[in-house]
Structure 1
Amino acid sequence: MHLPPDDRTLSPRTGYTRAHWETAADSLLAAVEPYATEDRALYHFPGDRQSWSGRLSDGLEGYARTLLLAAFRRDETALERYADGLAAGVSGVWPRIEDRSQPLVEAASIALALRLTRPLLWDRLDDGVRQRAAAWLGDGLTAEAWPCNWELFPVTVGGFLQEIGYEAEESRKAIDRGLGRIEEWYVGGGWYTDGDGRKYDYYNGWAMHLYPVLHAWLAQDERLLDLYGGRLSRHLEDYARLFGGDGAPMHQGRSLTYRFATTAPLWLGALTGRTPLTPGETRRLSSGALKYFLERGAVDEHGLLSLGWHGPDEAVLQGYSGPASPYWASKGFLGLLLPADHEVWTAAEEPAPAERTDAVTAVAAPNWLLQSTSADGLVRLHNHGSEDVRYDPYYTRLAYSTATAPAPTYDNSVLVGDDPSRTDIVPLGVGDGWAASRHSAGDGARVTSVVLARGAVEVRAHLVAGAAQGTPVRITGWAATDEVRAELRPVAGLDDELTGTTEAGPTLFVALARLTAEPEPAPLQELVTVDVDADGGIHVRWSDDRAVRVWLTDGDGVRVETASA
């Protein structure tokens, strides 16, 4: 991909401008065109992988997700090609939208693209094509969705069909039904769980916020825009902290192959005026993520987005991941809807939160603690509330970062009797520099955990109860890479191999951890001292004389007291 020269005056952090985004969009669109079928209704990308929905559905996915990119780019030449594909697709090529079927997902992308480009595409179609297209989309109004972000796909389809006057009452019902469902999953503070349970990840931004806010904005419904836009703005206060200084998004959750779709909520806030971020922050974060992936092999030798993270990577895929799935990254080009003279494109870049200062931020809704260090730009997420065992290890580890990926050797885990299980997570609170939770572990054990963080240093404590006396317990920390250094040191209950055994009652294990990219970090013992008294109280003193005392119990949970000496 041949990008324009960097502009270090307008964009001192990334060098990227609107021209870089336009070029990236154009290059991605040009690269997919050879893989369209002759009638342009399906896009079949190379490779052996097929999603569980089958080849026909995968081809539809290729059409719909790249159409979305053409819509954000407002590329009239490309849209003419997609108009031809639409005409063929709704004339019998595309599979019908049925209950809980993948075509419902792709119908939402198609409907959104048609709504965004109505004068350029929809209004130029023959009446017969419009009627068949509306009828094909119409099945999405009543198709049963999976009980998660899928509930918003009928909303998106209904928004377009209502606008063109097709099945207005059914469209309204679909909109109301879907928006009603997500109210059940809004937990406050700008956060949704993606369906029942405690599934917190990037779907908050590229689905749970994106579709309602865009619908309200396109419908010019100020009441809905105030509601959903207000939630988006609050979410962005936390969300902006999930990006590393190198532009990397947090490596947590599922569907990570969508890569820079992580930028969609950032652009959405600027587009609708519902954001706490300055224009310079918004572009710096967004361009940083795009640059991060483009410089690390996300686009292959054919100009296609591969199934993976940097390059191909099976570890980040799910059963629904087909060859065209990565093109939901198209959502990251939402910012191209903003005109070239918008201040988000003309303002000078400003530092991202991870670049400004060291920070430890409590995020109450998911019960997360975010820890960032400006010297190396690393962000760490201490997870004491998010869980979805279907996609473990990307939900259930104790910690994630912008520089590491979950390792098959069970990094950031408590292994009770060699069992790394962490299920039934119960949040026990977050506060000033700490987060705590309880979970079920192997051999019927219960583990109450707390992490205290300052700078790049972590104090991790785990109280193991319910296991037979003499059960081995092993604590693991960060998985090191060539770019970062990982440390884990025993403090209490552990030998030099970070292994201990349970006693007759609840047993406390304490360790010091650190993940850093600093070339010569200060020794851990100079940054923190930790003592455990006879009653199990943990006394922590940081190098700035800030003192913290922690008590863990199997019943009451955790008590934290903070004071300055």
Structure 2
Amino acid sequence: MGVSVPIASNPLRNKADLEQAFSQLTKPLLPYYSAGGARLELTGSGAGQAPEVAGMEGFSRIVWGLAPLAAGSANADEELLQLVLKGITNGTNPEHEEYWGEVADYDQRLVEMASLGLALAIAPDRLWEPLGAEAKQHFYNWLNQINSRRAHDCNWLFFHVLVNVGFHKLGLPYAKDQLEANLNRLEQYYLKDGWYEDGVNGHSDYYVPLAFHYCGLLYSALMKEEDPERAARFEERSVSFAGQFVNWFAEDGRALPYGRSLTYRFAQGALWGAYAFADMPPFELGVVKGLYLRHLRWWFSQPIFSPDGVLTVGYSYPNLIMAENYNAPGSVYWAFKAFLPLALPDEHPFWLAEELPLPELPAISAQQAPHLVVCRHSERDHVAAFNAGHPGTNEHTHTSAKYEKFVYSASFGFSVPRAEWGLSQGAYDSMLALSEEDNLYRVRRKNEETSIDGDILISVWKPWRDVTVTTYLIAGLPWHLRIHRIETARGLDAAEGGFALPLDATLGVNKQTCSLIGRTGFGGSGISGIRGYERAELIQAQSNTNLMHPRTVIPTLQAKLQPGTHILIAAVYGEPAALEEALPEHWQQSIQLSMQDERIRAVSPSGKEIIISL
């Protein structure tokens, strides 16, 4: 199927293989450049930004990969290089019909300036010097608009930083005071253990490795002499972060799908390449190389390309349902941030190092800043993150599904709703969905309280003003336990969803009144009602709701709740490549549970105890 077959068989062992991968991904794009070269005009869907802005966005995102290639290889794709130089010349010329335009406050084009700033900083001999004097002035003038425009108070401030670092490296006038102010503001987003929040009270998700640490390492590598104290701070934090972030990756290279902007795909692992670029490996260099290359191999083996070899919007397959409002067809090429190691010379130790497997990692990693407990079942190469939830929310697409599920699995993925009517359209895997007996369900979106104690996560949330849910998660793999204390002033229908299981002809089901386990060639998913539930059903979710699998079924417990106080308890099972018979009582092997004298006592796999009053 187009480029997908050769790139899937690319061994990705060395720099030449990575250069070939870049070529395999960019060759199919050449017919989609506009006549003036300033826009990458991919079609098939729209986004929040105007089409001409989306075209400019696609153009700039290719530069995330082209700039490192131009900096580190004499074999840079000359056809693409000349096309990009033509595009820069025309896109920044106010007299040309493809002029990228005057930029407004909070404009998407402020984001897209960052790759051009990087190009100025690391590849000026290929992406600046060939321009004529007038073209250089136009280029500078257009980029310099970023110094008189407001950017969103979040990771966007780093894009201003990169543009001005590019100016500085060329000896061009730059906004030194504003650069310092933005760097100081970015400091205020820092939490602990290497984690940032994406703006005040923002989420801690892939924007931390993809924006904060990635750009922080670029800054430290490029500005170490001018700003050694801050560069050292960025490096120290990035090393601290790596110790937590590595737990998000499975041995086969896949990473946890969690949060927004997941259509950027292999940008998930771009930070590992940034460690190499900045000569700041947080582990043995071969371990970093293995993390980086296995991640790319896993992605290139997925059906993520159109028939002509263009990356699609989606996650592990083309899927517009999960996309963000700002995901235009060319947005996906932010994934090219993963090509930063191409800037390294052929003899760099990163290319000479032997690729090594993951370091020894704990079965449980409690990560307070992102509100997660990451569990690892090494026998099945299964990684899952249990989620205490967040005190705030936002208006991004499918925020509840992307930030408030009880658990996120690197193998089972997670689902987003397709519509609002019923359990099939809602696709409520790894959630407690509540309906006011009208088939319209509400789920956790934000929390009144959250806490993590080892492998026990607690949250308090209010789907209605007069309904309070206290959720206790006892994390573990392949089984985990969920306990909900629900105080409601209204009658409710409750549905508790397990992991979404890919639906195929091999599906087999073991069902009892209040427990159900489904198995396919992929693995097994099940749920067992221990208290408060009335029946178990296998809900066939509507197609394309799950990020990993186009067709899924969700083991689901259901109950009717009258006004009053209720306790719901469920054991949830998920295991890819399951080989053994998984029975409903297997959770008891790792989690102790007793109910007596108006209280519930549970002891987690790590020995943590929790007592819940009825």
Q: TM-score, normalised by structure 1?
A: 0.89
The change in CA–CA distance for 1:440 and 1:341 in structure 2 (over 3 A counts) is farther
Aligned to 1:181: 185
Aligned residue among 153, 161, 175 for 2:159: 153
> Is 1:535 paired with 2:531?
no
Q: Deviations over 1:146-176 (max 9, x none)?
A: 22211222111121123333333xx212312
Structure 2: tracts of 5 or more residues without a match: 71-75, 418-426, 504-521, 537-556
Q: 1: distance between equivalents of 2:604 and 2:188?
A: 42
Alignment check: 8 A CA contact 1:368 1:384 kept: yes
Q: Give 1:496's aligned residue.
A: 535
The CA deviation at 1:104 is 0.8
TM-score (norm: length of structure 2): 0.82
From 398, 403, 416, the counterpart of 2:434: 416
Percent identical residues: 24
Change (3 A) 1:470 1:62: closer
Counterpart position of 1:514: 573
Structure 2: how far apart are the matches of 1:424 and 1:504? 23
| Cα contact 1:68–1:330 (8 A) shared by 2 | yes
- Tell whether the 8 Å contact from 1:108 to 1:154 is kept in structure 2 after alignment: yes
- 1: CA distance, partners of 2:604 / 2:314: 42
- Does the residue aligned with 2:304 lie in a helix, a strand or coil? coil
The CA distance in 2 between the partners of 1:503 and 1:212, in whole Å, is: 53
C-alpha distance in 1, partners of 2:569/2:446? 22
1:22 aligns to what?
19
Say if 1:446 and 1:335 are closer, same or farther in 2 by CA, change over 3 A: farther
Q: What is the rounded CA distance, in whole Å, between the counterparts of 1:84 and 1:298 in structure 2?
A: 29
Output the CA distance in 1 between the equivalents of 2:477 and 2:45. Answer: 43
Preserved CA contact (<8 Å) 1:95 1:103: no
The match for 1:549 is 609
User: Structure 1 residues 256, 200: closer, same or farther in 2, change over 3 A?
Assistant: same
My pick for the range that moved more, 96-105 or 207-216, is 207-216
Distance 1:515 1:17, change over 3 A: farther
Q: Does 1:368 align with 2:372?
A: yes
* Residue 127 of structure 1: aligned partner: 133
Contact 2:404–2:446, Cα closer than 8 Å, also in 1: no
87, 104, 111: which one aligns with 2:117: 111
Report the AA paired with residue 430 of structure 1. Answer: I
Residue 65 of structure 1: CA displacement? 0.8
1:242 pairs, out of 234, 248, 252, with 248
Query: CA, structure 1 residues 444+135, in 2 after alignment: closer, same or farther (shift >3 Å)?
Result: same
2:34 to 7, 29, 37: 37
2:585 corresponds, among 525, 528, 536, to 525
Post-superposition shift, 1:541? 6.7
Native 8 Å contact 2:384 2:407 kept in 1: yes
Decide which moves more: 306-315 or 490-499: 490-499
CA contact (8 A) 1:297 1:310 kept: yes
Which of 182-191 and 527-536 deviates more? 527-536
* Structure 1 residue corresponding to 2:53, chosen from 50, 57, 75: 57
Within a 5 Å distance, the mapping from 1:82-101 to structure 2 comes to: 82-92=84-94, 93-101=99-107
What residue in structure 2 maps to residue 435 of structure 1? Answer: 457
Q: 66, 70, 79: which is aligned to 2:62?
A: 66
Q: What is the CA deviation profile of residues 323-380 of structure 1, one whole-angstrom value per residue up to 9, with x for unaligned ones?
A: 1101101101112223333333222222236xx5671110011120101111221111
Q: What value does the CA root-mean-square deviation take over the aligned residues? A: 2.4
Within-5 A mapping of 1:44-443:
44-45=41-42, 47-74=43-70, 75=76, 77=78, 78-92=80-94, 93-168=99-174, 171-220=175-224, 221-352=227-358, 359-386=363-390, 388-390=393-395, 391=397, 392=399, 393-403=401-411, 404-408=413-417, 409-417=427-435, 419-426=441-448, 428-442=450-464
In terms of mean alpha carbon deviation, does 386-395 or 230-239 score higher? 386-395
Q: Could you report, residue by residue, the CA deviation over 1:10-45 in whole angstroms, capped at 9, with x for unpaired residues? A: xxxxx6433332211112222212211222111112
The counterpart of 1:480, out of the listed 497, 501, 522, is 501
* Aligned-partner Cα distance in 2 for 1:137–1:186: 28
Distance 1:275 1:533 in 2: 52
Q: CA deviation at 1:306?
A: 1.0
Distance 1:277 1:552, change over 3 A: farther
In the alignment, is the contact (CA less than 8 A) between 2:389 and 2:403 conserved in 1?
no
Residue-by-residue CA offset, 1:361-408 (whole Å, 9 max, x unaligned): 100111201011112211111111346342321112111111222243
Count of residue correspondences:
538
**Counterparts in 2 of 1:530 and 1:139: CA distance versus 1, 3 Å:** same
Distance 1:22 1:165 in 2: 30
The answer (yes or no) to whether the contact 1:372–1:456 under 8 Å persists in 2 is no
How far apart are the structure 2 equivalents of 1:49 and 1:177? 38
| Correspondence for 1:459 | 481
CA contact (8 A) 1:56 1:95 kept: no
**CA separation of 1:84/1:540 partners in 2, compared to 1, >3 Å: closer, same or farther?**
same
Q: Could you say which residue in structure 1 is the equivalent of 2:506? A: none
The letter for the 1-side match of 2:62 is T
What letter is aligned with 1:445? V
Instruction: Measure, in 1, the Cα distance between the counterparts of 2:152 and 2:255.
Output: 27
Task: Give the deviation of 1:427 after TM superposition.
Answer: 5.1
| Whole-Å separation in 1 of the counterparts to 2:613 and 2:231 | 45
Distance in 2 separating the partners of 1:115 and 1:308: 32
3-state DSSP of counterpart to 1:454: coil
CA–CA separation in structure 2 for the residues paired with 1:182 and 1:199: 14
Query: Aligned equivalents of 1:521 and 1:272: distance in 2?
Result: 48
